[in-house]
Chains A and B, each alone.
Chain A
Amino acid sequence: MFDVAIIGAGIIGTAIARKLAQYNLQLILIEKDSDLANGTTKANSAIVHAGFDPKPGTLKAKFNVAGNRMFEALCRELDVAFKQNGSLVIAFSEEEMLTLNDLAERGRHLGVPGLEIVGKEKLQDLEPGLSKEARGALYAPTAGVTDPYLLAIALAESAANSGTEIRCNSAVTDIVKTGEKFTLNCGSEEIEARHVINAAGLYSDQINAMVNPAYFQIQPTRGEYFLLDKNAGHFARHVLFPCPTKLGKGVLISPTAHGNLIVGPNAETVDNKEATETTAQGLSFIRENAEKIKAGLPLHKIITSFSGLRAKTSVGDFIVEEHSHTPGFINVAGIESPGLVSAPAIAEYVADLLTEKTGPLEKNHHYCPAGKRHSAFINLSEQEKTALIKEDPRFGRIICRCENVTEGEIVRAIKGPVGARTVDGIKKRTRPGGGRCQGGFCGPRVIQILARELNLDPEDITKNNPGSYILAGLTKEKQLKVERSGAAKETCPAESRDLKKAQAGKDHYDLVIIGGGPAGMAAAIAAREKGIDDILIIERDHELGGILQQCIHNGFGLHQFREELTGPEYAERFIDQLEDKGICCKLNTMVLSVGQNRRITFINNQDGLSAVQAGAIVLAMGCRERTRGAISTPGTRPAGIFSAGTAQRFVNIEGYMVGRKVVVFGSGDIGLIMARRIVWEGGEVVAVIERKPYSEGLVRNYVQCVEDYNIPMLLEHTITNIKGKDRVESITIANTDQNKQPIGGTERELQCDTILFSRGLIPENELSMSAGVTLHPATGGPVVNEAMETSVEGIFACGNVVHVHDLVDWVTEESYKAGRGAADYIMRYGKVPEEGFSFQTTPGKGINYIVPQQIRTALMNNGVELYMRCDGHHENSALIAKAGGKTVKNMKKKILTPGEMIVLKIKPEDLPSESFKELTVELDKGDA
């Protein structure tokens, strides 16, 4: 028999559990889902409100102000992020200024400290770049942002360490009171308790109705959000609110506790307590309203969108009471905003309600106020990092590249009293998959670690609740009668190779190449051939070759080797050369930053946190896939949504099927090739969906991957909704108009269990930014010159980090150039030849971009290849290059498409002899 059973492990249930754990009570915390913090706590604004907004006299007002005062100490104690960045409610009219005065008055009356009405000028100081229309604002310095789910988990850990039992996957289906005893029916077991606390959030009305009259109803009210990349986090300093209306606080813009930017929510009453899908209407409403507060929102930096449900009641206030009908049963219900900030105050109040009944309670001598360490490894000091890696080398292995989360943190998240059991559980605790690639790179590795630590098969690992399976069996299942050999063991494929290991402690290299894919390998080989001996390649993966290793299809090497190779074959030719030439590599090594004087900070589990200084650097980090989140495809967020490249890794390297009934969204080459792979492994491809009127991939891939297998290619279609709670169940598709937008009324449903997104690639330049390299808006990669040198002297770049290539052969060619350029630079000690002149390349009509962007004639040698892409499908056009008022090249082109890179070689003799500033390339569309 427990003294107290708490139903619901959201922020409220966990705060109450920890508070009560201070007393000598037998406690149990019961959660219906597979993890804590899985409802409203998981998806909200994460704002710690100052407290001027609620009506005086309400519980909301009381708990908000009190909770805000407790918040800083609580987060410090639990090692959870809390940034008290202050909030601004912004007025755009005289009328709204009056509302601000009322709010300020109300806030002062409620005891909110530091409130100030700021005028136009001070407002621009506080929040530069705000719309000039803003008249003034109410500044509340005590408002802030936190990490709500980690806070709930930390509260639960503290409770668990103090003796509280925690039961997940346990839904209360009935409660019976006999005498002083409650019996909770939780499916497979019955739990008995003297007191029950109903903190069941959206379901608190149903739990209440098990023992009480149904005196309140929860009306789920959905709020949708956008989350933007960390490099957009600085867009707002404060929590920015519009002036509140009857409908609520409105669409806010705020940095998050982790430095991202959050934008939202709307407020829509829904009739389903699981309706956490996003909608096209909701997301466009948020976009429009956010623009009103601060224009220029960098929407291209959206990494995901999500929605959460508020547990609103008709009462309009929190319900925190024991109903007279059932003594011993305390409702904590209707905890909508400002519930998060109120949680610690509500917990104290509930403890008071309980002691009123029980009399003074004995202290729990085993009370443990703190849980585990939660500070992200990457935010620790250099000394702390080094010490941790020494203690446990797994802290030296970065698993999530976007958030720099280490294996040590993931293991820590799994171990312990309320450890993660699911991929989402890991993400809530340590954030892998919460970054810009949305788990594209780290997802397979997180599954491996979970399976290893929990002693499960990777196929048994779910995204969230049971049913949200990620892997759908093994490839070659027929063959595997005995041993189910799935994901890679902890051995390293490169160990079988004879690659030269870097000398430990060596802290200077003539040339350091970041990335050991096709670009990095070619750059190393070219530099070595030019006479540079002292080269280091730093690679984050456990082997060289990059993405080629998972591209097991053929079609590589036609230009470089005049034969058709598969990706691994192409890679192996280069790895062999590196081996022969004795070029040093550090594998499993993540570069964290490139600083002044070409100092590269990196981390691995052998050197720990370390740095090298380079005479020259070649950036060759490649690209990442554009995710479902980045393009804001509306719908739910179940398992079964992959980017095509992630699926490719699962199928080709790890040997897992990603689904059985697959839709491919986007007709890029990776998507088409994956469609055929799925068919070849016994799956079904329901359709390939393309928004444009033509397939984006190579004709060959269309014919041999799609047409050969009678896969429907739905051109001028888009996905307007994704359905399915745990796993994808179906999608809604619609025809698109000329602007690639869905046409209303053309929607229809397709059944599927998996969606592969093949919606383009994005050069991965976070390190380039840390080095101060200028990026080009059209390519997304560094601006480079003819030697592939970036805007920062001595830093070169090549391959997909510069611009996305369609053929690896061009990557190799470009990377040889970068390697030679870096070698020249090293041998010239940075001195630039003075003869000649330099000119820019400028894309003209019909051309989207040209690489390189700058050319020095003295270094053109016998010519420079210009790589460029055109803006559409053009037949029978002419490609014209002009410089200094003269046409220097005029080439007839039978067919040009955006999918195929145009290569135009300019030789010195083509150019006017007198100096000019600009070479323009344009497309003369002729009669086409």
Chain B
Amino acid sequence: METKEMICILCPLGCKMQVKEKTNQPGELSVRGQQCKLGVDYAYDEYANPTRTVTSTVVIQKAPLPRLPVKTSKPIPKDLVFQALDEIARVEVIGPVKIGDILIKDLLGTGSDLIATRSL
């Protein structure tokens, strides 16, 4: 199993951790380098299914500003970030838009929606 180096982001200590799946116990991780048990939880999330919230803008017409800020309503898998950005780049909306309006439902099948983060 591959060892992943990762930095815990939960506090300013930023522990550098080495995380590896235990050979004899699939799904169980061996975590080293953390200074508290929060690091272990973080390692589990980040090892198997790292996710990120994507925040960007989309083109908006008939609005006082040329871009509308948006985000994914939930974090999406990290490997889908660039695909999501491609989808976002294709969106064009017409104002007015209310904060929270859904612009793409179930983005890339992630269960997360692309939503407006301001009214414009």
Contact = CB atoms under 8 A, between A and B. Distances in A.
Contacts of A487: 66
Nearest to A484: B66
B85 interface: yes
Given A496-B96, A680-B85, A552 B57 contact: yes
Contacts of A483: 61
Contacts of A566: 55, 69, 71, 117
Interface stretch (A60-68, A594-602, A628-636, A895-903): A895-903
Nearest to B90: A479
A496 B11 contact: no
A368 to B, nearest CB: 42
Given A703-B9, A900-B12, A496 B66 contact: no
B65 A700 contact: no
Nearest to A491: B64
A699 B65 contact: no
A786 interface: no
A478 interface: yes
A486 interface: yes
A485 interface: yes
Interface in B62-80: 64-67, 69, 71, 78
A94 to B, nearest CB: 60
Contact of B117 (A476, A552, A708, A894): A552
Which of B13, B36, B57, B92 is the most central at the interface, judged by chain A CB atoms within 10 Å of its CB? B57
B66 A486 contact: yes
Contacts of A899: 12
B58 interface: yes
Nearest to B13: A895
Which of A485, A489, A702, A875 is the most central at the interface, judged by chain B CB atoms within 10 Å of its CB? A485
Interface string B101-120: 00000000000000001111
B53 A564 contact: yes
Contacts of B54: 680
A655 B67 contact: yes
A476 B9 contact: no
Given A549-B118, A554-B71, A704-B9, A475 B57 contact: yes
A653 B117 contact: no
Contacts of A654: 65-67
Interface string A870-898: 00000100000000000000000011110
A572 B53 contact: no
Nearest to B6: A703
A653 B65 contact: yes
A655 B12 contact: no
A132 B117 CA distance: 62
B89 A699 contact: no
Interface in A480-521: 480, 483, 485-489, 491-493, 495-497
A479 B13 contact: no
A652 interface: yes
Interface in B11-48: 11-14, 35-36
A707 interface: yes
B105 to A, nearest CB: 19
Interface string A636-665: 000000000000000011110000000000
A680 B58 CA distance: 13
Given A552-B55, A700-B9, A707-B7, A476 B64 contact: no
A168 B39 CA distance: 64
B24 to A, nearest CB: 30
A485 B89 contact: no
Contacts of B59: 476, 479-480, 485, 655
Nearest to B78: A708
A194 interface: no
A699 B7 contact: yes
Contacts of B13: 699, 875, 894-895
A699 B92 contact: no
A553 interface: yes
Interface string A294-311: 000000000000000000
A704 B85 CA distance: 15
A572 B99 contact: yes
A487 B67 CA distance: 9
A698 interface: yes
A417 interface: no
Given A569-B99, A572-B99, A475 B120 contact: no
A473 interface: no
A572 B118 contact: yes
Contact of B89 (A479, A495, A497, A549): A479
A479 B120 contact: no
Contacts of B58: 476, 479
A496 B71 contact: no
Contacts of A700: 9
Given A496-B64, A655-B66, A703 B118 contact: no
A582 interface: no
Nearest to A477: B89
Nearest to B7: A703
A569 to B, nearest CB: 5
A669 to B, nearest CB: 12
A492 B12 contact: no
Nearest to A486: B66
Contacts of A485: 59, 61, 66
Contacts of A652: 57, 67, 69
A53 to B, nearest CB: 56
A479 B67 CA distance: 12
Contacts of B65: 488, 493, 653-654
B7 A702 contact: yes
Contacts of A900: 12
B120 to A, nearest CB: 7
A496 B54 CA distance: 27
Contact of A554 (B55, B57, B92): B55
A450 B58 CA distance: 26
Which of B7, B54, B67, B92 is the most central at the interface, judged by chain A CB atoms within 10 Å of its CB? B67
A369 interface: no
A141 interface: no
A250 interface: no
B85 to A, nearest CB: 6
Which of A488, A489, A497, A568 is the most central at the interface, judged by chain B CB atoms within 10 Å of its CB? A568
A288 B53 CA distance: 51
A480 B81 CA distance: 22
Contact of B52 (A475, A549, A704): A704
Interface in A539-589: 549, 552-554, 564-566, 568-569, 571-572
A748 B73 CA distance: 43
Contacts of A497: 119
Contacts of B90: 478-479
Nearest to B67: A655
A708 B57 CA distance: 20
Interface string A521-549: 00000000000000000000000000001
Which of B52, B65, B120 is the most central at the interface, judged by chain A CB atoms within 10 Å of its CB? B65
A470 to B, nearest CB: 17
Interface string A700-714: 101110011000000
B27 to A, nearest CB: 24
B66 A495 contact: no
A699 B66 contact: no
A699 B67 contact: no
The 8 closest A-B pairs by CB, nearest first: A568-B118, A699-B14, A552-B69, A700-B9, A491-B64, A493-B64, A655-B67, A566-B117
Given A565-B117, A655-B57, 19 more contacts: A475-B57, A476-B67, A479-B59, A485-B66, A487-B66, A489-B64, A491-B64, A493-B120, A495-B64, A552-B117, A566-B117, A569-B118, A572-B119, A655-B67, A698-B12, A699-B8, A703-B6, A894-B13, A896-B12
8 contacts: A485-B59, A493-B64, A565-B117, A566-B55, A654-B67, A655-B59, A698-B12, A702-B7
Interface of B: 6-9, 11-14, 35-36, 52-59, 61, 64-67, 69, 71, 78, 81, 85, 89-92, 96, 99, 117-120
